[in-house]
Every structure is written in structure tokens, then in C-alpha cells.
């Protein structure tokens, strides 16, 4: 069942809250009224009432007609809220306590004889928009794990920091003149405050930002190690040039031909760029995937991204105008050397290096125009299968090495410059794209592979599969592969090519070297000098690191491709310290990926001025045990980090081959379900299932309280014949369905937000936000509070202390507790956080039926609750008489003796007379007891064929079945 459905079913409560999204829409006209610096009306409705009532008493609210209504409700509501439970007092109190006492600090000198647990969140980009409700989803999960492991005696590393270089701060600087550093620091402050308000147990002493020179010193140091090993180099490559942003973008930053950020057009342009040779690690990046406890889907995405393929490089000589061989060759990459005799033309990419050498004078202009045309397309557009193939004949021919045939060379953009050799032998009988192209341009098609499985296939159809080779022998070259299987033929062609110098076996990867330079200001400077005289590049000395980013007031791109840093003239112009020769600094900066590639290592030893990370510390803490973040980072971030990690492994900086042992992707939180209805011209509703052309009617959004579920559908409460369509959207500013976690914390508290995000559904699934769901978990927390503390007094406050007694727990109480311990522990460890909560809810429901709340039961339960709702748990723990935080108390362990299911003998009466007994599990349901009774040999004769009037069941005591004498019916099954 999808999480969407689950959530819809939870909604039995009336909708108390207005959606935050609607409030956010109201805000534009109602500004600056609240002392919270937030328009009053953007707060959810109930919060407004309590706020007015004095819980937070400093406001004066003057919103016209609403005012009176609000005022009349306030006095009671504020008390009601206090009665529920005083999260607004407890939460800041414990946050202060944790901070003042540095409770979650992981000291530098931990006792390394204890086991370790390193649990890490993908650190956020501190955007101007602040925290989104999607952030706390992953952060709460890691916090629960961190808190559990601390209580289980592990040394826990649970840090937080900021991935703070990047485009948005720079764009903002261009628009407003505010320095990116100022914006970034402000955003970080806000993020930190927000995270602290959620009670996450981060070791804030280890906080770091990728923009701090102390940090990027080591990012630059890693770059130098790469450079020294030939893994960072410069090359003239076709790049995605975005004129509007004035920068080169990586392939993954271009979506459908426009920049991912901002949606500006992107063109292909050859430029000299810094590249990192990730391809040198392709094999290891592929092989080592197998040993990782990562979701199979991510591993598969990485495998596809690396894209290993085996084939051959074959050389085709270029022919001159008279058809004579020249000394120039075009090398193609093919995964199907068996189809060599079927190659009836060649294609080179528009950017191919040799193109200008062999294109004929007559074709030159057409080819130039075509190159220009192709430069406007992204690689993705060029390779899309369904796109119409285009190309231009170069006027030149090449020799097929297998049979000596002269075949035309075309230029076409379905061949990419960046893959293989940027040239292909085209086999239109056996490759779909080549087939389409050949048909369009009237190029001969030659069949060389027979489909064995279906020889009756239309011989004129393209056949891309393997088969038996035919039409493939040449007297001239002596090569004959007829009647061989495709596999055998491929081996034979490779062997022949290697022997005759016509080619070689080749493994290729889709993975390309990583374009590592950005023509932007707000990034790490690349620590390289370029000598004025020779253009030679020189690494700056490690002792000069960090090479700090110079101050700049004008961040606008130069528009020429020259990075903004070129405006920092006195920084750029320098001398090579070893020779005194004039030189210029590299003005491109590193991409945002750089800082995030290795931050997990710095957290192990964040303040070390001597080394990136101390060896002993690294040995103890590596690898990251659990790494949680969004699936959008499945490939790039995780692949880049793995690459750097492997380089660091090779040079002895780290001790493990892989950085992250287990990766978990949290699901996306989607906006609240929106219900759409349609109205005709007269204003009458039209049911979504009766009308074919719904779009001709007016769409209206129906509030949830006017909707009910009918069967599998949603209908209007006032007229159930009108069916509605429920829709779910990603949260986005433009749709106005973004939920701000701050609002939720104000209204319900951080513990409720944490619990709700965990309770929404399975952690890895996408889920829809639902405000009434928070009310549910909030009520659970309030029930827990009252269970331990009791009801509030007449003034709304709560007595000190608790209701807990020192009575010996009963067997039933112990069983209930230990079942809960087993469940919560198991569910947290398997990251099924939602069902862990259900376990605690069951416990609280059971505990409400008891006459006493023994300390021996309640104390362990409070510890169980603490990873999820740490503020409430700390408060209860302290009221239970403990002077210290519970953060390092032992997490309760389930005693297997109390987990065994026990059976009891249950007497069964028929019409009040005991007729027999049955053996049932303790706590067995009425239905189960009845079924057992009706199957019992002795009892069956009383029940068979009888109609049952009623059943009286007292669990653990008796089952009494009253028969209906007037209507005899078989109902026992």
C-alpha cells in the first residue's frame, strides 16, 4: 500500500488547522505586524489563539474584524494548550541545558576501546529559504540512531556543517551587492538556530563550513595531491557554456538544454578547463560497489553512470580525393566488432579533432553550419533515441579495413565527442540509430548478422541482436568470419586487428573525467599559477595554503568566459616564488562538489592545523557507519566522494577503501493532498468520473473538511455523487504548499514535529504532509505526559514530580514493557521508525488501564521514548528524580523471559453453562477465541448449526456464547 493511502486513512479527526500554505499566501498584504517579525496571519490558526492568550504574551495583534473573535477565544485556549502539555517551556529549557553542558560533545580523546558509531547527514546548503520540512526527516532519523547508540555505550560521532559555497549566494550578490560571505553567514546562523530548535544531538563543537579558509585549505591540499599525481589536468574540452550565468556547467547541471539553476540556455563550446581524472578509478569505483550496504538502486545507478563496456578500437584510413589511402586514420570505438563488414559509412562527432583536416572544400560551409547547429544541443538531446537524426556528408571517404571498401564519412550529432573516440563505424543493418540515419540519407545497408532465433524475420528490418555472421569475408584482407557466432567473430576480428595493426581490444566507460573548474567567484580558489612567459602551470606550495579568496565588490561575470576573479588584479598578478618569474593565478574556482567530497573526514578532527585528519582518529572513526540523505545525490556526490576517498587511500591519508558503509535515502515529503472539483457554467458541480471533457469546466480546490472517502474514491461530503480528484505536488514556493518547520514547532513543539516526520510512513518512501497527522502524534505525547505527570491543575499548570509509585511491577506490566523495548529497539535498528512509534503507542494505551504506574516500568519507557522525543523524555526523567541527562543512560534491554507468549485455559459457556475449555494465547481476541471454541470437539456439538445471538468475552477469564433459539442457522465458521 502506498504511503499516500496510509496517510489518508489516518485522517479521522476533524481538521483543526488551516494549512500553512494558505497562510503563506496571505502574507504579502499583511506584513510587519507581529513582534516575531513574521506576519501574524501566517501562523496556523490555533497557534494564533494560544499566542494571544498569553502563553507567549508579548504580542499585540490588530487584524481588523478577526480581532474580536480571536480575543474571545483566547483565554480558555491558552489554558487548554498548557493543559495538553507544556512543550513550549520544556523544549527551550532542555535545549539550553544540552548546549550549556555540551552534552553531545564527542571529546577528542574518546576511549577507543569502546565501539564507535559515526552517523552522518548529508550536510545542507544553507539557502536563504531556511529549513524545509524535508530536512528534519533525515535529521530526525540520524538523531534517533545517534541517541540510541550513545545509550547503548557506543562513542558516537554526529556532526553538522554547511556546504556553503555555490551559486545562489553569488547570484544574490550580483543582484543586491551583498557579499556572498555576509549572506552565507546569515543563512548559516538561521539554519543553526532552526536545527537547535529541533533538539538534534549534534556535536556543535565540530561544526564546519566549506567556505572557511581553515577548511578549504585542505580542499586545496587534496587538489594539489591530485595535480601531483596527474589526476588534475587541463584540457580543451567541449563544455556547457551558459552565457547568462557566465559560467561553464557540468553535464548534470544542465537539464533539457538549460541551466538547472535559473533555466538559462546553455550551448556547447570548446574551452580550456581543469579536469579530474576520475576515469582512472572507474574499475575500482565499479568493483568496490559490491561490498557496500547501500540501496541496490543507488548501486545500479552508479554502475550505469560508470557504464563499463567491452569492445574494440578499430582504425579506418582516410582516403584522399582520388580514393588513395592517406597516412591519417580515424579510430572508432565499437562494442560490435563482429559487424565490421556491415559498416557502410562512418560518423564523426561535430567536435572531432580531425574533421577540419578531411572535410572537402565543397562541403566545408555546410559542415561549419552544422557544427554551429549542434553546439546548441545538450548531450542528452543529441542522444535521445526518438529525436530525428541529422547530419552532413563531409565529402570524404575512409577505407573499411575488413574489406577495403570506401565508405563515406559523415558528421552527425548523435555521435558524441566525449565518448569512445568520438567516431563510429556505422552499421545500419544492426544498429537502430544508424539504420534510421541511413534510411534518411539513402546510405547502403548491408546485413551481416543472421537472427538464429527467428530466421523468418523480415530481412530488411534492423536486427540489433547477436546471431550468426554472414556476408563477412574478404579475399583482399584474408579476414573471414562467416558462420561464426557474434561472440566468436568479435574475438576473431579483435585478434586480426591486433595482428595487422588495425586496432585493439578496448574497455570503455561512460564515465567521463570530471570537469572541475567554474568561472565563478564563490568557490575555492584553485591553487595553481600560470607562468606569463611559457603558460606552464605550477602548483603553489603546500605551505602557502590556504590560498584565500580575495575580497571583491563586483561579482558580475565578465561575459567573456574570464572568471570574475580576474577582476582581482593585484591577487591575480604574482610571481612564481621559486624562480621569481611573473605569473598569474588561476582564476577559475572549484565546483560546489569539492567541499562536500571529503567533509566527513574533517568532522573526525575538525580543528587540526597540521593535517587533513589525524591518522589515529581517522582509523578509529572510519568509515561513516550510516549516511543519510536524498536520493538526488545517488550518483554525483557519492561517486565524487568515493573517488577522492580512493585517492586519499592510495596516498595513505585514510585507512578504508570506501567512505560510507551504509547509505540510506529518505523519501521526499510532498505537499498536502489537494482535492479538485469541477463546476459547469451554471456553477453546478460535475463529477470527475462522468464528464469526459473536464478541462472545459472550471477547476476548484475543495478543502479537506468538505471531502469524504467513498470506496476507493473521494467525494464531496455534501453530495457524494460528485467525485473529486486528489492530487499531490512537490512542495514549492510557486504552488504555495511549502510547510515551514518553524510554524510546526511553534504550534506543536519540536518533539511532535520529530515524531510526526517519523510516523508519516516508511522512512524511505515518499510521503504526503498532513497537518491532522501531527495532531495525532501530539495527542500521543500529551497522553504520555499525563500518564506520568497527571492532569493539570485548575490554573493550567502541572504539579512537580510524577504519579509514579515504587510498587513492584506486575507480570503483565513487565510483559507489556519488554514487548515495547524489543519492538522499539528492533524497529530503530532496522530504520522502521514509524512502527517503533506504534509500539510506544500500544504501551501507553495498555498503561492507561493500569491502576498504578510503577517506577520500574515507567523509567525504562521514558528512556525508550527519548531518541524520538528527547525534550519530553529529559523532563520526565528529571521529574523522576534523576539529576543528570538521560543521554548516556543505558538503553533498556528486552528480557526474553517476558517476551514469550503464554497460553491460558479459558472456560467456555453456552447459554451461561460451562460446557468445556479451550487453550488460548494470553490476550487472544474474541474472534480467535470463538473460532477455537467452534473447532473444539466437545464444544462443536453445542454450536454447530446454531445461530448466535451474542457473545460475552472477558479476556483471560471466560467466553460465553448465547444462542438464538428462534432462528437456527449455521454460523460457526
By CB under 6 A, name the binding residues for ligand ANZ.
Answer: 309, 333-336, 339, 415-416, 419-420, 422, 424-425, 427, 430-431, 464, 508
Q: Which is nearer to ligand ANZ, 309 or 852 (CB)?
A: 309
Report helix angle 870-879 to 771-789, nearest 10: 10
CB of 230 to ligand ANZ, least distance (A): 24
Distance separating alpha carbons of residues 844 and 852, to the nearest angstrom: 13
Q: Where are the beta strands (DSSP E) in 545-687?
A: 573-575, 582-585, 624-629, 660-665, 669-670, 674-679, 685-686
- Tell me whether residue 136 or residue 467 sits nearer to ligand ANZ (CB atom): 467
CB 296, min distance to ligand ANZ, A: 22
Distance of CA 602 to the CA centre of its chain: 22
Residue 815: phi and psi, rounded to 5, are -65, -45
Shortest distance (Å) from residue 425 CB to ligand ANZ: 5
Q: Vertex 705, ends 699 and 706: CA angle to 5°?
A: 50
Helix (H, G, I), strand (E, B) or coil at 279: helix
Q: How far is the CB of 511 from ligand ANZ (least distance, A)?
A: 11
Q: By C-beta, is 508 or 813 nearer to ligand ANZ? A: 508
Report helix, strand or coil for 423. Answer: strand
In sequence order, which residues have a C-beta less than 8 Å from that of residue 878 and are 6 or more positions away?
A: none
- If one counts every other C-beta atom within 10 angstroms of the C-beta of residue 648, the result is 22
Minimum Å gap between C-beta 419 and ligand ANZ is: 4
Quickly tell me which residue has 565527442 as its cell: 417
DSSP 359-422: --TTTHHHHHHHHHHHTTS-HHHHH-TTSPP-EEEEEEEEE-TTT--EEEEEEETTS-TTSTTS
Residue 368 CB, nearest distance to ligand ANZ (Å)?
21
DSSP string spanning 490-559? HHHHHHHHHHHTSEEEEEEES---EE--BS-SSSPBP-EEEETTT--EEEPPGGG---PPPP-S-----S
Separation CA 870–CA 91 (nearest Å):
9
CB 488 → ligand ANZ: shortest distance, Å?
Answer: 16
Question: How does DSSP classify residue 673?
Answer: P
Task: Tell me the closest approach of the beta carbon of residue 412 to ligand ANZ, in angstroms.
Answer: 9
Q: Measured from the CB of residue 507, what is the shortest distance to ligand ANZ in angstroms?
A: 10
Residue 427 CB, nearest approach to ligand ANZ (Å): 4
E-strand stretches of 146-199: 155-157, 161-162
Nearer to ligand ANZ, 509 or 780 (CB): 509
Q: Of 171 and 451, which CB lies nearer to ligand ANZ in the complex structure?
A: 451
Distance CA 79, CA 58 (A): 16
Among residues 188 and 515, whose Cβ is nearest to ligand ANZ? 515
CA angle centred on 120, ends 115 and 126, rounded to 5°: 155
Smallest distance, ligand ANZ to C-beta of residue 433, A: 7
Q: Quick one: 430 or 819, whose CB is closer to ligand ANZ?
A: 430
In what helix (H) or strand (E) does residue 876 lie, and over which residues does it extend? helix 870-879
Q: Which is nearer to ligand ANZ, 425 or 529 (CB)?
A: 425
CB of 418 to ligand ANZ, least distance (A): 7
Question: Of the two residues 48 and 430, which places its CB atom closer to ligand ANZ in the complex?
Answer: 430
Residue closer to ligand ANZ (CB basis): 333 or 714: 333
Residue 704 near residue 13, CB atoms below 8 Å = no
Nearest distance from residue 529's CB to ligand ANZ, in Å? 35
Max alpha carbon distance in the chain (Å)? 114
Bridge-based pairing of strands 685-686 and 698-702 is unpaired
Residues with Cβ within 8 Å of residue 895, at least 6 apart in sequence: 814, 818
Q: How far is the CB of 346 from ligand ANZ (least distance, A)?
A: 10
Beta strands at 624-629 and 116-121: parallel, antiparallel or unpaired: parallel
Q: How far apart are CA 331 and CA 398, in angstroms?
A: 11
Q: Rank residues 48 and 382 by Cβ distance to ligand ANZ and give the closer one.
A: 382
Q: Which is nearer to ligand ANZ, 121 or 513 (CB)?
A: 513
Please state the closest distance from residue 342 (CB atom) to ligand ANZ, in A: 7
Min separation Cβ 340 and ligand ANZ, Å:
8
**Rounded distance, CA 651 to CA 611, Å?**
13
Between 427 and 760, name the residue whose CB sits nearer to ligand ANZ: 427
Are 867 and 839 contacting, i.e. CB atoms less than 8 angstroms apart?
no
| Nearer CB in complex with ligand ANZ: 197/508 | 508
Q: How far is the CB of 508 from ligand ANZ (least distance, A)?
A: 5
Nearer to ligand ANZ, 226 or 466 (CB): 466
Cα separation, 559 vs 125, in Å, equals: 27
Cα–Cα–Cα angle for 106, 109, 110, nearest 5°? 60
Q: Which is nearer to ligand ANZ, 91 or 431 (CB)?
A: 431
Q: Looking up cell 543493418, which residue turns up?
A: 429
Residue 417, all three cell numbers: 565527442
Please say whether the beta carbons of 270 and 277 come within 8 A. no
Q: By C-beta, is 489 or 545 nearer to ligand ANZ?
A: 489
Whether 783 and 848 have beta carbons less than 8 Å apart is answered as yes
Q: Which is nearer to ligand ANZ, 304 or 548 (CB)?
A: 304
Q: Shortest distance, CB of residue 618 to ligand ANZ, whole angstroms?
A: 38
Strand ordering across the sheet containing 514-515:
247-249, 232-242, 267-276, 514-515
For 652, the enclosing helix (H) or strand (E) is none
Amino acid at each position: 500500500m502506498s504511503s499516500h493511502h496510509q496517510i489518508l486513512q489516518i485522517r479521522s479527526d476533524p481538521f483543526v488547522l488551516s494549512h500553512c500554505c494558505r497562510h503563506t499566501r496571505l502574507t504579502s498584504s499583511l506584513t510587519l505586524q507581529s513582534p516575531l517579525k513574521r506576519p501574524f496571519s501566517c501562523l496556523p490558526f490555533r497557534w494564533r489563539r494560544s499566542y494571544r492568550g498569553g502563553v507567549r504574551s508579548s504580542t499585540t495583534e490588530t487584524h481588523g474584524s478577526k480581532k474580536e473573535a480571536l480575543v474571545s477565544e483566547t483565554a480558555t485556549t491558552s489554558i487548554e494548550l498548557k493543559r495538553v502539555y507544556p512543550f513550549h517551556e520544556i523544549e527551550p529549557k532542555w535545549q539550553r541545558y544540552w548546549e550549556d553542558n555540551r552534552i553531545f560533545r564527542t571529546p577528542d580523546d574518546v576511549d577507543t576501546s569502546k565501539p564507535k558509531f559515526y552517523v552522518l547527514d548529508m550536510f545542507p546548503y544553507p539557502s536563504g529559504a531556511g529549513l524545509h520540512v524535508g530536512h528534519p526527516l533525515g535529521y530526525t532519523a540520524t538523531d534517533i540512531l545517534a541517541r540510541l547508540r550513545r545509550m547503548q555505550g557506543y562513542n558516537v560521532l554526529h556532526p553538522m556543517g554547511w556546504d556553503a559555497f555555490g551559486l545562489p549566494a553569488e547570484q544574490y550578490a550580483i543582484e543586491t551587492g551583498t557579499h556572498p560571505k555576509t549572506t552565507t553567514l546569515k543563512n548559516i546562523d538561521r539554519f543553526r538556530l532552526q536545527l537547535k530548535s529541533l533538539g538534534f544531538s549534534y556535536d556543535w563543537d565540530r561544526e564546519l563550513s566549506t567556505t572557511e579558509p581553515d577548511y578549504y585549505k585542505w580542499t586545496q591540499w587534496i587538489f594539489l595531491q591530485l595535480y601531483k599525481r596527474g589526476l588534475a589536468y587541463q584540457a580543451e574540452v567541449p563544455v556547457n557554456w551558459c552565457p547568462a550565468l557566465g559560467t561553464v556547467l557540468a553535464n548534470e547541471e544542465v537539464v533539457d538544454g538549460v541551466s538547472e539553476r535559473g533555466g538559462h540556455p546553455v550551448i556547447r563550446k570548446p574551452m580550456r578547463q581543469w579536469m579530474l581524472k576520475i576515469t582512472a578509478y572507474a574499475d575500482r569505483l565499479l568493483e568496490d560497489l559490491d561490498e557496500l550496504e547501500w540501496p541496490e538502486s543507488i548501486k545500479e545507478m552508479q554502475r550505469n553512470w560508470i557504464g563499463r563496456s567491452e569492445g574494440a578500437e578499430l582504425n579506418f584510413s582516410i582516403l584522399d580525393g582520388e580514393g588513395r589511402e592517406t597516412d591519417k586514420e580515424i579510430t572508432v570505438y565499437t562494442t560490435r566488432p563482429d559487424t565490421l563488414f556491415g559498416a557502410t559509412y562512418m560518423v564523426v562527432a561535430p567536435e572531432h579533432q580531425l574533421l577540419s583536416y578531411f572535410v572537402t572544400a565543397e562541403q566545408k560551409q555546410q559542415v561549419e553550419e552544422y557544427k554551429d547547429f549542434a553546439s546548441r544541443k545538450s548531450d542528452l538531446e543529441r542522444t535521445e533515441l526518438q529525436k530525428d537524426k541529422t547530419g552532413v556528408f563531409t565529402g570524404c571517404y575512409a577505407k573499411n579495413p575488413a574489406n577495403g571498401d570506401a565508405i563515406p564519412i559523415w558528421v552527425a550529432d548523435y555521435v558524441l565527442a566525449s565518448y569512445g573516440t568520438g567516431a563510429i563505424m556505422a552499421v545500419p543493418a544492426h544498429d537502430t540509430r544508424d539504420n534510421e540515419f541511413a534510411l534518411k540519407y539513402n546510405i547502403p545497408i548491408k546485413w551481416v548478422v543472421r537472427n538464429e532465433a527467428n530466421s523468418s524475420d523480415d530481412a530488411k528490418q534492423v536486427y540489433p541482436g547477436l546471431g550468426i555472421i554472414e556476408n563477412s569475408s574478404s579475399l583482399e584482407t584474408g579476414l573471414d568470419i562467416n558462420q561464426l557466432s557474434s561472440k566468436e567473430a568479435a574475438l576473431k576480428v579483435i585478434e586480426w586487428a591486433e595482428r595487422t595493426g588495425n586496432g585493439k581490444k578496448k574497455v570503455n566507460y561512460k564515465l567521463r573525467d570530471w570537469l572541475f573548474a567554474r568561472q565563478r567567484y564563490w568557490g575555492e580558489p584553485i591553487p595553481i599559477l600560470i607562468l606569463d612567459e611559457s603558460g606552464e602551470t605550477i602548483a603553489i606550495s603546500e605551505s602557502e595554503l590556504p590560498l584565500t579568496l580575495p575580497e571583491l565588490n563586483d561579482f558580475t561575470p565578465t561575459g567573456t568566459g574570464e572568471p570574475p576573479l580576474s577582476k582581482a588584479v593585484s591577487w591575480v598578478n604574482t610571481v612564481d616564488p621559486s624562480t621569481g618569474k611573473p605569473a598569474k593565478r588561476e582564476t577559475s574556482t572549484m565546483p560546489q562538489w569539492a567541499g562536500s567530497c571529503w567533509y566527513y573526514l574533517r568532522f573526525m578532527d575538525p580543528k587540526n592545523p597540521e593535517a587533513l585528519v589525524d591518522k589515529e582518529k581517522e582509523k578509529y572513526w572510519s568509515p561513516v557507519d550510516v549516511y543519510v540523505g536524498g536520493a538526488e545525490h545517488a550518483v554525483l556526490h557519492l561517486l565524487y566522494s568515493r573517488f577522492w576517498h580512493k585517492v586519499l587511500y592510495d596516498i595513505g591519508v585514510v585507512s578504508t577503501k570506501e567512505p560510507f558503509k551504509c547509505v540510506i535515502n529518505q523519501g521526499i515529503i510532498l505537499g498536502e493532498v489537494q482535492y479538485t472539483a469541477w463546476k459547469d457554467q451554471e456553477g453546478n458541480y460535475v463529477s470527475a468520473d462522468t464528464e469526459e471533457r473536464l478541462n472545459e469546466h472550471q477547476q476548484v480546490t475543495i478543502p479537506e473538511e468538505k471531502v469524504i472517502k467513498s470506496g476507493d474514491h473521494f467525494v464531496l461530503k455534501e453530495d457524494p455523487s460528485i467525485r473529486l480528484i486528489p492530487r499531490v505536488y512537490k512542495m514549492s514556493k510557486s504552488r504555495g504548499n511549502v510547510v515551514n518547520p518553524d510554524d510546526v514547532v511553534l504550534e506543536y513543539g519540536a518533539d511532535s514535529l520529530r515524531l510526526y516526520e517519523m510516523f508519516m510512513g516508511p522512512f524511505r518512501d515518499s510521503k504526503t504532509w498532513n497537518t491532522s497527522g501531527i495532531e495525532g502524534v501530539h495527542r500521543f505525547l500529551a497522553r504520555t505526559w499525563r500518564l506520568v505527570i497527571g492532569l493539570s491543575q485548575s490554573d493550567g499548570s502541572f504539579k512537580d514530580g510524577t504519579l509514579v509509585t515504587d510498587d513492584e511491577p506486575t507480570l503483565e506490566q513487565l510483559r507489556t514493557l519488554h514487548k515495547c523495548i524489543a519492538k522499539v529497539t528492533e524497529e530503530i535498528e532496522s530504520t522502521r521508525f514509524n512502527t517503533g512509534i506504534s509500539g510506544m503507542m500500544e504501551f501507553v494505551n495498555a498503561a492507561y488501564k493500569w491502576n498504578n504506574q510503577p517506577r520500574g516500568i515507567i523509567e525504562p519507557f521514558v528512556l525508550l521514548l527519548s531518541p524520538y522525543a528527547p525534550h519530553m523524555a529529559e523532563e520526565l526523567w528529571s521529574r523522576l528524580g534523576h539529576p543528570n541527562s538521560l543521554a548516556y543512560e543505558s538503553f533498556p534491554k528486552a528480557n526474553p523471559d517476558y517476551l514469550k507468549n503464554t497460553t491460558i485455559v479459558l472456560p467456555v459457556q453456552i447459554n451461561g453453562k460451562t460446557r468445556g475449555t479451550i487453550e488460548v494465547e494470553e490476550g487472544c481476541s474474541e474472534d480467535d477465541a470463538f473460532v477455537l471454541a467452534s473447532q473444539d470437539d466437545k464444544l462443536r456439538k453445542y454450536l454447530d448449526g446454531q445461530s448466535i445471538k451474542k457473545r460475552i468475552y472477558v479476556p483471560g477469564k471466560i467466553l460465553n456464547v448465547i444462542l438464538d433459539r428462534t432462528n437456527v442457522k449455521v454460523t460457526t465458521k
